[in-house]
Structure 1
Amino acid sequence: MKSWWLLILLALPAPGLASGRAGDELLVFAAASLQEAMDDAGAAWQARSGQRVRVSYAGSAALARQLERGAPVDVFVSADAAWMDYLQARGLVDPASRFDLAGNALVLVAPRDRPAAVALEPAALLAALGPRGRLVLADTGSVPAGRYARQSLRTLGLWQALHGRRAETDSVRAALSFVARGEAPLGIVYATDARVEPRVVVVARLPAGSHDAVRYPVARAGMAPAARSAGFLAFLRGDEMRDALRARGFMVP
């Protein structure tokens, strides 16, 4: 009996720590399409301030749900306004800290060994997909990249034409991976995703006016201490971060 109690006591977190986090460590939830840019930001801020930044990447929907369930996050970066609005309406982010970090565009990609341009019209897309291929995109019901893609395909009159020829994934990076591995002949991803994956090539660009503007809002999680993230949030708004985002292909507001 005593040995079981000892094991339980050893498993408990030490006083002053939350899930193994140091007191001033910053936990950031960020949309998967921001991975390289936020890795850069975290490293730059840690080098400047000494504060460790840990970033968790996934689809915005999954991250918002984790925050809603009480994940001990300090900063949330979404790939659309809708999920930030969702959290703000529930008092889970601080509206006074909210700002738009960057913008993006949507592109149609193919494996690099099939680099021919593809017209955004039904016959051309179906021909590029072949008899069994599917257009892969992020979940159109919850993931921002998928919702933007659905809007664009509907505006362009392509949604119904591609019925039964679409495959949805849990994040835009997952969609990118399917195309990069040659498991899908076409995919819709962000322009910045295509830049970081050498195994794909852009074969068409979806018109900006065919979908809502792609925005990445940032805010402090409402229950997190403001002092812990204040410096990092200021850094994200500064010229160094703006230049880094431009260098990676993002649009800066």
Structure 2
Amino acid sequence: MKRLFLFLLLVFGLGLSAGAHAAEKVTVFAAASMKDVVEEAARQFKADHGGDVTASFAASSVLAKQVEAGAPASIFISADEDWMNYLQERKLVSVSSRRIIAGNALVIATKAGGAGTAADLLNAGRFAMGDPSNVPAGKYGKAALEKLGLWDQVEKNAVFTENVRVALQYVSRGEVNAAIVYASDLAAAPDLQEAFRFPASSHQLILYPAALVGEGSAEAKALLDFLSSDVGQAIIRAKGFVPAAEAGS
């Protein structure tokens, strides 16, 4: 009887351990502009490593506040360094794990046939852009327009959105004439084109920092390393981003 009890205890204990391991998953909180990268990386990571990955996409500001409120994120990927700094100052991310995984460029997207200077495109009617008060793409866009001396002219035409993907949807639906978005976002909008690219000198470098939330599980560390690997960086390039080594950080 004693041997049977020990055997059952061992089997039960192993079952619990296996179940706990199977339940372990990585939850990525990523800027909306990183949606295609994270989804493809998650697919390849699962195929190569067998790990389950779930993801939540929104503006970096929204996600950072959710992490601050205790949301169960494993990795945070921000569209700028400010919101990563926000979490780092609150000791919510692992400083040693923090790294730049990608860069980007800022463009004006329109439907086919749109062309001209930034002034031409943005003075022609309403245009969409991320809210400059909290969306990184909006902050970069406003800074670029101020640098070019256009903000005071075109601000009245701006429709502020919660992230870049919504700005693109407005153009696709014909609700606005153009949108200020990241170059990478056009890869997910085949019906739109790049009508103008802002000079890199008109705004700060567009960098995407990533870090573990808390100390991070082994699976989360593996996924973060995967994003920095040659395979992960190839995904980043294929989705229209600039690989970390070329981002100028």
**Hey, what's the Cα distance between the residues in 1 that align with 2:198 and 2:153?**
16
Query: Structure 1 pair 158/236, CA: closer, same or farther in 2 (3 Å)?
Result: same
Q: Across the two proteins, how many residue pairs are aligned to each other?
A: 225
Counterpart among 200, 213, 236 of residue 208 in structure 1: 200
- For the Cα contact (< 8 Å) 1:169–1:175, is it kept in 2? yes
**Cα distance in 2, alignment partners of residues 135 and 83 from structure 1:** 25
TM (norm. structure 2) is 0.86
Partner in structure 2 of residue 244 of structure 1: 235
Which 5+ residue runs of structure 1 have no aligned equivalent?
1-15
SS of residue matched to 1:56: strand
2:32 corresponds to: 32
Code of the aligned partner of 2:228? R
Deviation at 1:64, TM superposition (A): 0.4
Deviation at 1:120, TM superposition (A): 2.3
Cα distance between partner residues in 2 of 1:76 and 1:67: 8
Say whether the 8 Å CA contact 1:135–1:184 is kept in structure 2: yes
Structure 2: gaps spanning 5 or more residues: 1-15, 245-249
Instruction: Give the 3 Å change call, closer, same or farther, for CA 229–116 of structure 1 in structure 2.
Output: closer
Query: What is the CA distance between 1:226 and its match in structure 2?
Result: 3.5
The CA deviation string for residues 166-219 of structure 1, in whole angstroms up to 9 with x for no partner, is 110000111011011111001100101112202212111111110011000000
Q: Name the counterpart of 1:135.
A: 127
Shift of the alpha carbon at 1:250? 0.8
Aligned-pair Cα RMSD in Å: 1.6
Residue number among 163, 188, 213 corresponding to 1:171 in the alignment: 163
Report how far residue 225 of structure 1 moved.
Answer: 3.7
- Rounded to whole Å, the distance in 2 between the matches of 1:125 and 1:239 is 38
Question: Could you tell which deviates more after superposition, 152-161 or 192-201?
Answer: 192-201
Question: Hey, what does 1:234 align to over in structure 2?
Answer: 225
Spell out the pairing of 1:89-104 with structure 2 (5 A cutoff).
89-104=89-104
Does the CA-based 8 Å contact 1:111-1:181 persist in structure 2? no
Superposed CA offset, 1:6-25 (max 9, x none): xxxxxxxxxx9xxxx96311
Change (3 A) 1:157 1:239: same
**Residue 87 of structure 1 aligns to a residue in which SS?**
helix
Secondary structure of the corresponding residue to residue 140 of structure 1:
coil
TM-score normalised over the length of structure 1: 0.85
